[in-house]
Structure formats: C-alpha cells, structure tokens
Amino acid sequence: MTSSRSAGVRIVAGFGLVSCLWGCYVTVGDLAPGTTSSGAGTGGSGPGSTGTTSSAGSGEAGGGGAGSAVAAGGEGAAGGAGGTGGAPAEGPRLDETFGRGGVATPDLGGPRGSLSVVRLQSLPSGRIAVAGHHDFLFPEAYDTGDAFVAFLTPEGELDPSFAPAFDGAEGFQSGRGVLTIDRGISSDWLSGIHVDEAHGDIYVRTRHFDRESATSIQRLWIAQVLPSGSTLTPAGNGGSSDVVFSFIFPSSAGGRLHRVITPTIVLNRLFVGDVKPGTRESFVNITIPIEVSDWIPVVAAARDGYVYVVGGTSVLRLIEGTEQTEGGEGVFVDSSFGGGDAFVTVDPGELGLGTSPSPFAIGLDLARNLYVGFTSDSTVPRASAIVKFRPDGSGLDLSFGTSGVLPWAIAAGRARPGGPRRLQWTFVRAGDPGPPHDHRRMNEHPWKRETRDLGPPVAWRFSFELGASPEELWPILIDTDRLDRAMKLPPIEYTEQDGALRGASRLFGVAFRWTERPWAWVAEKEMKALRAYDNGIATHLVVAFSLEPRSAGGTRVEVHLEWYPRSALSRPLFALGERHVRAAYQRALQRLDQQIAEDRPRHVLLARCPPALGREVQLRLAAIREELLQGGVKGALAEALLRHVAGADDMELRRVRLVPLARRWRVDERELVIACLYATRAGLLRLSWDVICPHCRGVRRTVSVLGEVPPKASCAPCAAEFSTDAPEAIEVTFQVDPSVRQVDTRVHCLAEAATKAHIKVQQPLDPGDRRSIETRLAPGRYRVRIVGDPRYRFLDVDDVNDVNDVNDVSDFNDLSSRSTVQEVTLRAGDRAALRSGPSPVLTLVNDGPERRTFVVEDVGWADDALRPAALFNLQEFRDLFAFEFLAAKVQIQVGEQTILFSDIVGSTRFYERLGDAVAFAAVKRHFHEVYTAVRANRGVVVKTIGDAVMAAFRDPGDALQAAIALQEQFDEDRSETGLRLRLTLTKGSCLAVNLNSGIDYFGRTVNLAAKLQGHTSAGQIVFPASLRDDPRAQRVLGAQKIPVQELTLDLPFLDEPLEVCRLDLHRREVAPPIRMRPARHRRAGIH
C-alpha cells in the first residue's frame, strides 16, 4: 500500500510467499476515500496445495514517497503462476501505461529458486524500489546471492542506471540493474529498505540465517548504498534475537538521520536505532516495551514525526521527541493515541476474515487518516479488507466503506505444472477511475467524464532524462508552439467559435479539425491538454508533460499521449506513428538540453534561422540606417535593431516587445522606444496597439491606429467583458513591415500555459469533483479565482516551511505543531483569505452543478509590457505621430504623472509695452525654449493654452529639474524681453483622453496644477509637499541647495487645507523656511 500526498489514498497490495509449494495471490486496488467498489485478482498455486499468505511478502508504504502504487506477484521454479489484478467494470483497474497492460515482468535474475519481495517503495521520481531475498528453502539460492535491491522505471522496466558496476565490496555483486547481497556465511534475508531520493541514499537492513545450524543470527547488518549502486558504506550493527522485520524511516530531526524499528517475537519489545550516513557505530538500541502479548508487528509507516506499527489487528503509534525512555531518547510510545492506550484495535469479527487476520499494508494521508489492509487466515478463497482509522486512533472512520471496512475478494487458482527455470517477478500498478491523485500518471487527466465511455485508449508514454533543471526546462516545454515546430509538426489555424477554441491542420494531406479544451497545468511540474476531433482515426487526444527533479541532478521529462480510437479497426494504425513521434521528441529535447548546457540565451533555444535577405532588401536596410542616424538614433542601437529584424527567429518578430528587448540588449528603454518610432516612420516597423484581457492577459484585439481602440472589449475563453481604461488593458508592440521581411505568423500549437505565464495553477473540475495537487508555489501573494467569475480571494505563501495552521483540515492542528507540508482547500464561492508554507498541496473542490476552472495566479503584472503612457510622454511620439488620437469614448489610465504648468506673468502688459509683433516673436521664442527644456529632461509638452504650457513627466525629479532650468533661463535679469514665468507642479494619476483631436491628460492632478497658478508669483515654483517628499525630488533639491518655503493654502475646491512648498530662485538669500500657517491635514489622494 502506498499513499499519495492528496487527501485520498491509493491502496494497492501484493502479498504471498512464492515457492514451488505455495502460490502467489495478488490483489490490486486503487480507491478514493469512500469508494465501495471491489476488485478481484487471480493467482497461481502449486500442485497439491492451495495458496497461502506469508508476511514475508507484505508491502510497505514508502517513507514519505508519493510515487506510483505497486503490487507484486511472481512465479516459482515449479511453475506457480504470477497473479494479476482484476477489477469489475466500475471498480479499480490496472494502469495500462505500466508494463504491458498494467503488468510488468522484469527479470531479476537469480538461480532456480524462488524470491520473496518483501519491500516495495514508490518514489517521488516515479521509480519503484524493489527489495527482497531468495527463499531460504532453496539451497541453490546461495550460489549467487540471497538478498537483492533493484529499481523499476515508471514504465515498469529494470532501471539499468542502478548498480551498473559495483565496486567490489565483499558480499555484494551487481549487474543489469540488480544489486545482490551475499554475506557468505549464511543466507541473507532482507528485512528493511528505505530510499531517500532527496539526499541520494539507500538504506538496506538484512538478517542472516545459518543454513547449516538452522538458526537465525542475532546481529542485524545495515548498509548505505548510493543510487548508482557503486558504493556501499556499512552503517553499524544492532538488533536482537528472534527478529521478524525491520522498518526504516526518515527521522523528523531532519538532515540525513534515519531510524530503524526492529520488533521481536518473544520479548514484546521494539528496538529503535539511529542511522547516520558514512558512520559505522551510529546504531544504538532503544528498547520500547509493548504490553500486548504475542504481538508481532508486520508493517509500519511514518509521517511528520509519528510512527505507526501494525501487528495482528492492533496499531501502535510512536512519536519522535526528546523525552527520555528506557535505553535512550528520541522515540517513545504516544500515550495520547487510541484514547490513552497508544493502541487502537479492530475486532476481527468486523473484518469478516476469520479469527486470525494478518495485516499486509499500511498508508497515511495528509490528515493522518490511517489505512490498513488485512488478509484472511486459512480461508479459501482468499479475502482481504481495508479499514480506515480516525487520526486520533479513537476508532474506525465509519464513513469509509461499510462502517469503516472495505472488503476485497481474492480468488484462488491452480498453477500449471512445471515452469521456467529463470525466476521472474510480476509487478502490477493500479490505475484510478476516480479523482486523480498521482499526477505523473497519464490516465489521470481532468477530462475523465468526457472520455470514460470511449473505450480503452492507446497510450504512448515517453520518458527522457535531461541534465537541465525543471526551472530551466519549464518555460520552453510549455511553449509548445516552439517545441512542436522543432519536432517538424504541421502548423495550425485557430479560431474562436461561440466561446470555444477551434483548431484545424493538415497531416499527410488529410485535413483535421478539432475543439481544444482549456488546458490544465501546475507551474514547473505538469501540463495537460485535450483535443476532441471532428474527424480522423481518433475521437480524442490527451497530451501531458510532467517534470520531476532527479536526486542526482537534472530532470525526468515524461510525455504522455493518450489516443481514443474512433473504431476498433483504427486501433492498430496508432502503432505506425509511435516510434516516429518518440524520435521527434527525443531529437527536440536532446537539442534543447544541449543548448541549455551551453548556456545559450532563452530566446535562441530551439530557434530557427531565417533565410537570407535579398539584395534589394539589404540596400533598403542601408537606407533606413542612414535615416535613423539622421533622426538622432545612436549608431550601435540602429545596427542592433536592423540585425534583429534581419536575423531573428520569426517567433521573436511576431510581436516585438521593447521592454524585454531593451533589457536583453542592455540599452536604455526610452532610447529603444524612440529608435523604433523613427524606424516606424522609415518603413522598417509597424506600430500596433494590442488590447489585453486583464484575466488571461492574452491579446484580444490588435489595431494599427490608436483611434480604433474600443472603449470596451471581451474575452470569450475567460467569459469576461472589460474596459480598456485599465492601466494594463493596452500594450504597445511593433511588427516588421512586410515589405522588409515576410514573418511567418503561423502557429504550431496553442501554447496556452506559455501565453499565461502568470497563471501558476489552472485546473478544470467537473461537478462534484475533488482534486489534490502538489505545487511549487514560491513565497508571495497569489490570487485564486474561478474562470468567468470576477470575484477572487488571496493566497499568501509564507517564506517558512513550518506553518502550523492548515486551511480546511481541522484535525491537523490538534495532532502536531511541526507540520512541514500544508494542504490548502479551495472551494468555489469561498472568499476568505488563505495562508500556507512554500509549495503547498492544493485541494480543489467543485461543489457546484457546472464544470469550473480553478486558477491560481500572480497578483502583480510583469514589467515586460510597453504601455501607452510611455509613448504619450515622449515628445518624439507626439511630433512623429501627431495624427494619432483617442476615440471620443476611450479613456486610458496613464498611471502616475508629474504635471508642469508654465505661464507668462503679466502677458497683457507685455504686449502693450512691446507691441504685438515684437511680443509675439518673444512669446514664440519662449515656447521653443520651454519645449527644449522639457525634452532635455525627458518630458513631453501635452498642450499649449494661450501663452501657457502644460507638460508631463514620468519622473518628478525630471519635472523639478526642468522647472528650475526654466526659472533660471527666464530670470529678472533677462535684458532682451524681461519675460517672467510662474511654474507649478503636481504628482498623481491621470487619464489620457481625446480633446481637440489630440491626446490630452485629464484628472484631479491636472486640475490642481492649474489652480496653484493663482498662488504663484513670477520666478517661483510651487508644488505640494508630497512631491517634495519623493526621493527623486529630494535628490534634485539637495543638489541645487535652494531654500524651500513651506506654507498652507486654503483652496475652495478642497475640503481641507493643502500643505505646499515654494521655491524662489531669485531670492536665494531667503534661508529659513517660512510656514505661513500650520498645516492641519494633508488631503488624501491629492499630490
């Protein structure tokens, strides 16, 4: 039995001593909590004897492993046939992606004896650890070795990377991926194993049986084996006589400390020892007295500092801590379990398995619900049952099965006489017809209801070992457009019809059409998609990727394709394409892995070089270069832009996004934007205004003229309408002019996860479904929502790994304060904020009547988008694209702006004194000087009003520097005209609107700057105190060393007085600040 990290438990059993005298009985089940279906298996038995069950074949839950479930069977020398798991129509069924039809039969070698597999451990990587020994009844077994350790791949094959060439430690041999242990003086029984993939350690525990004296050797022997099987380090000795089993589990103390529990038959004692890697004398016995007579522990499991040991029909719970116990400290009996007895016992009569049922497997879920599998005594046909105990040991969970007991039937059978001399074992892994738990498994996708009546699929499963990390691979693997192009798959045409995404493509001259469902993914972990075909040999295709880090570094990438044939006649045709598709993936992934190893930039990974440009185009590019240089573009920047247009991958040029491009080229973003504006006027590029959905952040509409941007837009996939006045609703991009280069805009796949990189989890759920998923959410704030519902809630992931509170799992808090893995339950309609530790397990629950898609996304927007405000604040844009304007009903938020108002003081008298002609010429020169000062300080003139100027800046420091420069230029000593200016500044959010067929700024910030003109005299600069407090403005004021006067104004349009600052550059001798009246309050929201 193994347990996944979800709320459900995967229950699989394999048991039975295999020999020529006894048969092997196997039952396979894969259940969600509360399931009442049952499965039946078949097994062989030797001639003249019915099958029996031996504890030597019991399965053990992997210590914290969350891999695939396995069971075991085998066949002996005399022909005991290996059993396979059966299932009724609606019960558990075999996972057909494992081995052949759900059954794997690897050759574990050995002589003509028989094997007992006593330990199976599913690992997070998807591999399966197998350990056991040759049966001591067969002398031939001693010729090669007694105990063995091996690994199966997720496909059910022997993992040849394990133990390829063992370095010759005495008593150990290797070959073909099987490590055999032969201590020489006796037979070796393997009594315990634990694989610690996180640290790359394998711990095995053996005891020895002296064949000549027929006695058991009292000392136990422990070894540490590295994953390669090439190094073995003895790790100490310890134990006692009459040993039955040993259980190895990771200590809650952390690090690489592991513990071993060794129960005995006679003494009713448990011996506990600590094992540290690389040390020989670390095993120290700790005796724990047990007050139950004839209690023989058989199976055990550990989680979060608790250890559960099962013998007979009783469960004992131990706890790790610092309390002193007999013989040492570290592990002691948990007297709070089972109502104060430390034990919980189930009445054998409730199981219906005879008077002496035996436990064979144990499992735990995240809430510490305990599942134990029992098998019957000598009753034939065989039977078994699984029970569920409450977390506190107070009794059975009556909601499980029938009053806490789920019965299973195991059929007995006769073996055919005679059999192969070469010993082989059969391993079975179960599939899951219900809610998914193990997300590495192909057959657990979110579209079960849509595909369940289509018959068995044809499954292709490819596994690749890459050297790159999951973090390096994920952004490229989810970009399936790029990946499929690298695999030379045909392009696809996508359209939206009634809210559904329709795809069309041609393969081998045949047109295919399909509907593509919303994808499901968990960032840096897995991605799944479904296509429902209108025509062709398949009705549906499910594609899935999964990434799992390897303990030795790198990543195991699994690609699963599940085809649902349209008819039985078309099923054989799929075999024709499997090898071709596997080879295509192999080539693309090997190329990708090599490029990552060469540290190539991300934008060139799996890139394709374009064809060379013709002579005529090259001459045109040379002319455009000269035009860019004449416009003031730097030569190096012009060269980089032209090289990019001529040589970049087509995918890079579909939408040229300047912000990431400036970052990659390490150039000033503003300079690159200006260069592209000039390149647009020169005919190299085209300017586009993209309308962005605020939910999926995808492009919903692209227009070439700003005036065509609509006031509202919609997104059918998100079932949402939105206004374009939001700050993130419009992005400015550029495309290559077709007259320069024809960019291939065809796509090869939707790449939904890549286009929605801000979404870390997306999972569709059918009504009534519940799904638990493991995430890799980093610390930060996330937004949780349902697609189509504007409401949302927040999930805060803390930067700690010991969060004590577990959301929506009430029993967890009462059991431990040392939880390191947290489960967060998300239900549609809930609005309460949630909190967790890193990489939480999310349990999604759809209680509603309709299919819903859950989304967990980053709260913030990436800084990779060029917003309209960046162009509106450029004088070059307003000069080069003066024809651009907003539609009458469109308003665009341009974010925080610093507004500058400049006005000539005494302009009426100025005209009267100098006359219209002279005064007009002076005012015109004044406009030129104001424009020059504004542009020199990275600002833009928005408009002129009479002889007044309104300018905008993104940086308040730039605005203040421009104002000081203007006052110094128009000082009272200016002899030619005597023009004097008054300047006001404000900082705050603004709207871009259409006014007089131009782009104007509007809002309270603009209004306040204009009103402050009435409180400003010649030579002065007035601005709110909040602007002075900005660090960017502080730097300018500190460098200029200008005295700042502070005063409070009563403005009729404000509810409260406003604290402002005044600079008078022509009276710098005024040193002490002046406060005309104490400020009572600063009006909120006015800057």
Distance, C-alpha 722 to centroid of its chain: 28
Predicted confidence (pLDDT) per residue in 39-60, tens digit: 323 222 222 222 222 322 333 3
Transcribe 473-497 into DSSP letters: HHHHHS-HHHHHHHTTPPPBEEEEE
Give every CB contact of residue 924 below 8 A, 6+ residues apart in sequence: none
Strands of the sheet containing 258-263, edge to edge, are 247-250, 258-263, 269-275, 286-289
How high is the pLDDT of residue 815?
29
Domain co-membership, 499 together with 350: no
Report percent pLDDT > 90 for the chain.
Answer: 33
Question: What is the Cα–Cα distance from 237 to 246, expressed in whole angstroms?
Answer: 13
Q: Which of 93-102, 460-469, 721-730 has the lowest mean pLDDT?
A: 93-102
Confidence of residue 1081 (pLDDT cuts 50, 70, 90): very low
Residue where a domain terminates, one of 604, 629, 645: 604
Report percent pLDDT > 70 for the chain.
Answer: 67
Count of residues making up the chain: 1087
Evaluate if residue 884 carries a pLDDT over 70: yes
Does 435 fall in a domain?
no
Domain co-membership, 304 together with 270: yes
Domain co-membership, 901 together with 932: yes
* Nearest alpha carbon to residue 824 among 758, 763, 774, 860: 774
Q: Which of 541-545, 645-649, 706-710 has the lowest mean pLDDT?
A: 706-710
For residue 72, give the 3-state DSSP assignment. strand
How high is the pLDDT of residue 13?
35
For residue 184, give the 3-state DSSP assignment. coil
Its sign, for the CA torsion 745, 747, 750, 753, is negative
Question: What is the Cα–Cα distance from 1026 to 845, expressed in whole angstroms?
Answer: 48
How high is the pLDDT of residue 519?
94
Q: Which of 158-167, 285-294, 976-985 has the lowest mean pLDDT?
A: 285-294
Predicted confidence (pLDDT) per residue in 498-515, tens digit: 878 999 998 877 899 999
Residue where a domain terminates, one of 839, 858, 877: 858
* Nearest alpha carbon to residue 939 among 948, 930, 927, 926: 930
Please report which helix (H) or strand (E) contains residue 579, including its range.
Answer: helix 575-597
* Contact indicator for 682, 627 with CB cutoff of 8 Å: yes
Residue 231 vs residue 883, higher pLDDT: 883
How high is the pLDDT of residue 17?
29
Predicted confidence (pLDDT) per residue in 820-849, tens digit: 447 888 887 787 888 888 889 999 999 889
Domain co-membership, 277 together with 382: yes
For residue 532, give the 3-state DSSP assignment. strand
Residue 996 vs residue 426, higher pLDDT: 996
Confidence of residue 257 (pLDDT cuts 50, 70, 90): low
* Contact indicator for 189, 204 with CB cutoff of 8 Å: no
The token pair that represents 463 in the structure block: 């596994």
Domain co-membership, 831 together with 905: no
Domain co-membership, 284 together with 392: yes
* Contact indicator for 82, 73 with CB cutoff of 8 Å: yes
The token pair that represents 804 in the structure block: 């004590």
Confidence of residue 573 (pLDDT cuts 50, 70, 90): confident
Confidence of residue 291 (pLDDT cuts 50, 70, 90): low
Does 1074 fall in a domain?
no
Torsion angle (degrees, nearest 10) of CA 666, 671, 672, 677: 180
How high is the pLDDT of residue 23?
25
Q: Are strands 215-216 and 201-210 parallel, antiparallel or unpaired?
A: antiparallel
Predicted confidence (pLDDT) per residue in 64-79, tens digit: 222 223 333 332 222 2
Question: What is the Cα–Cα distance from 1078 to 1056, expressed in whole angstroms?
Answer: 13
Domain co-membership, 414 together with 360: yes
Question: What is the Cα–Cα distance from 147 to 181, expressed in whole angstroms?
Answer: 5
* Dihedrals phi, psi of 669, to nearest 5 degrees: -60, -40
Predicted confidence (pLDDT) per residue in 192-206, tens digit: 777 777 666 777 777
Give every CB contact of residue 1085 below 8 A, 6+ residues apart in sequence: 988, 1004
User: CATH code at 593?
Assistant: 3.30.530.20
How high is the pLDDT of residue 214?
53
Residue 596 vs residue 368, higher pLDDT: 596
How high is the pLDDT of residue 500?
87
Exposure of 525 by Cβ count < 10 A (0-12 exposed, 13-18 middle, 19+ buried)? buried
The span from the first CA to the last CA of the chain, in angstroms, equals 65
Question: What is the Cα–Cα distance from 544 to 533, expressed in whole angstroms?
Answer: 17
Does 876 fall in a domain?
no
Strand-pair partners of 155: none
Give every CB contact of residue 508 below 8 A, 6+ residues apart in sequence: none
User: CATH code at 176?
Assistant: 2.130.10
Does 695 fall in a domain?
yes
* Dihedrals phi, psi of 166, to nearest 5 degrees: -60, 140
Evaluate if residue 38 carries a pLDDT over 90: no
Question: Of 218-232, 333-347, 920-934, where does the model show the most confidence?
Answer: 920-934
Q: Which of 260-264, 678-682, 866-870 has the lowest mean pLDDT?
A: 260-264
Domain co-membership, 975 together with 1028: yes
Question: What is the Cα–Cα distance from 205 to 224, expressed in whole angstroms?
Answer: 9
Q: Which of 83-97, 480-494, 967-981 has the lowest mean pLDDT?
A: 83-97
How high is the pLDDT of residue 428?
39
Does 1075 fall in a domain?
no
Predicted confidence (pLDDT) per residue in 471-493, tens digit: 999 999 999 999 999 999 999 99
User: CATH code at 998?
Assistant: 3.30.70.1230
Confidence of residue 807 (pLDDT cuts 50, 70, 90): very low
Question: What is the Cα–Cα distance from 811 to 390, expressed in whole angstroms?
Answer: 10
Phi-psi region of 1041 (alpha: psi -120 to 50; beta: other; left: phi over 0): left
Question: What is the Cα–Cα distance from 515 to 492, expressed in whole angstroms?
Answer: 12
Q: How many H helices and E strands in the chain?
A: 20, 59
Q: What's the longest Cα–Cα distance across the chain?
A: 129
Evaluate if residue 255 carries a pLDDT over 80: no
| Residues 593-619, mean pLDDT to the nearest whole number | 91
Residue 283 vs residue 814, higher pLDDT: 283
Tell me: cis bond preceding 868? Omega within 30 of 0 counts: no
C-alpha to C-alpha distances, 1023 to 901, 970, 1007, 1009, 1057, nearest whole angstrom: 11, 19, 13, 8, 14
Side chain identity, residue 763 = Q
Evaluate if residue 160 carries a pLDDT over 80: no
Question: What is the Cα–Cα distance from 759 to 478, expressed in whole angstroms?
Answer: 12
State the Cα angle at 402 between 397 and 405, rounded to 5°. 65
State the Cα angle at 527 between 523 and 533, rounded to 5°. 150
Confidence of residue 879 (pLDDT cuts 50, 70, 90): confident
How high is the pLDDT of residue 672?
96
| Residues 711-738, mean pLDDT to the nearest whole number | 89
The token pair that represents 186 in the structure block: 């006796």
Evaluate if residue 216 carries a pLDDT over 50: yes
The whole-chain average pLDDT of the chain stands at: 74
Does 749 fall in a domain?
no
Structural domain boundaries, residue 475? 448-604
Residue where a domain terminates, one of 572, 604, 636: 604
Question: What is the Cα–Cα distance from 981 to 927, expressed in whole angstroms?
Answer: 12
Predicted confidence (pLDDT) per residue in 1022-1049, tens digit: 999 999 989 999 899 888 878 889 999 9
Confidence of residue 632 (pLDDT cuts 50, 70, 90): very high
Evaluate if residue 180 carries a pLDDT over 60: yes
Count of domains for the chain? 5
Evaluate if residue 630 carries a pLDDT over 50: yes
DSSP 37: -
Domain co-membership, 639 together with 596: no
Domain co-membership, 415 together with 471: no
* Nearest alpha carbon to residue 82 among 433, 376, 420: 420
The token pair that represents 229 in the structure block: 């099987």
* Contact indicator for 828, 847 with CB cutoff of 8 Å: yes
Evaluate if residue 333 carries a pLDDT over 90: no
CA count, 13 A, side-chain hemisphere, 621: 20
For residue 690, give the 3-state DSSP assignment. strand
Strand-pair partners of 504: 493, 513
Domain co-membership, 22 together with 161: yes
* Nearest alpha carbon to residue 775 among 834, 832, 816, 725: 834
How high is the pLDDT of residue 812?
28
Predicted confidence (pLDDT) per residue in 297-318, tens digit: 666 777 667 788 887 788 888 8
Does 830 fall in a domain?
yes
Q: Where are the alpha helices (DSSP H) in 648-765?
A: 650-653, 658-665, 669-681, 752-755
Question: What is the Cα–Cα distance from 132 to 124, expressed in whole angstroms?
Answer: 21
Question: What is the Cα–Cα distance from 137 to 939, expressed in whole angstroms?
Answer: 91
Evaluate if residue 1 carries a pLDDT over 70: no
How high is the pLDDT of residue 137?
44
For residue 550, give the 3-state DSSP assignment. coil
How high is the pLDDT of residue 248?
76
Does 441 fall in a domain?
no
How high is the pLDDT of residue 422?
28
How high is the pLDDT of residue 426?
39
| Residues 141-152, mean pLDDT to the nearest whole number | 63
DSSP 656: B
Domain co-membership, 20 together with 40: yes
Helix axis angle, 1031-1040 to 956-969, nearest 10°: 30
DSSP 1082: P
Confidence of residue 915 (pLDDT cuts 50, 70, 90): confident
* Dihedrals phi, psi of 1011, to nearest 5 degrees: -70, -30
